[in-house]
Structure 1
């Protein structure tokens, strides 16, 4: 992956629906070259997919947070499976360092978030946790 591919990926992260012609103009390339680079990045697994976040998604879960979890013993896989089935859990990430898992949460109210945090803390294997509220998202598509 070269510098042009990195610029292409950065542009797509800003606007995943940008037309090929706009991407080509931004990068100083032809549309065919941009299309070929996109296809190459997808085939190599660098681009794994495109997603859409709707205003409805944000409206249904305006209270968002990240919950970092430390798991005791070999229970991380079991905890991950329980979390992925929870309606307030948007994503679960395994990580290294102090925390074993990072859980992205979304709820309608702070009270709902508080209830979810207590539910997760009670899961067998969850040793400690720390939660941060997401106040604003500056990177990515602008919120309207």
Structure 2
């Protein structure tokens, strides 16, 4: 992957719906070059797909946050199973460092968000936690 490929990916991250002509003009290359590079990046697996983020998806969870969990002993898999049963949990990730699991949470209100935090903190094996509210999203992994 060269600098043109990186610039193309950056432009697509900013606006995946940009026309080939607009992409070519912003990168200073031909439309054919843009098309062939996108195809090459897809074939190589660098680009695995494109997605759409709907307004309704963003509005669904007006209160969003990340909760980092410290788990006692070998209870991580059990905690993952319990988290998967909570409707407010949008994702759960294993990680390294101080925390064992990072949980993405979405709720309609602060009160509901707080209720979910309390529920997760009470899971047997959760020994510590830290939560950060997400105030705005500049870029979504979508």
TM-score (normalised: structure 2): 0.84
Match of 1:47 in 2: 47
Match of 2:71 in 1: 71
**Root-mean-square deviation over aligned CA pairs:** 2.0
Match of 2:107 in 1: 107
| Cα gap change, 1:24 to 1:80, in 2 (>3 Å) | farther
Alignment of 1:127-138 (within 5 A): 127-138=127-138
- Bigger Rg over Cα: 2
* Partner secondary structure for residue 136 of structure 1: coil
Match of 1:18 in 2: 18
- Between 1:57-66 and 1:90-99, the stretch displaced more is 90-99
Match of 2:56 in 1: 56
* Partner secondary structure for residue 133 of structure 2: strand
Unaligned runs of 5+ in 2: none
Unaligned runs of 5+ in 1: none
Aligned partners of 1:126 and 1:25: how far apart in 2?
53
Match of 1:27 in 2: 27
Aligned partners of 2:40 and 2:77: how far apart in 1?
33
How many angstroms does 1:85 deviate by?
Answer: 4.0
Alignment of 1:110-125 (within 5 A): 110-125=110-125
How many angstroms does 1:25 deviate by?
Answer: 1.5
Match of 1:36 in 2: 36
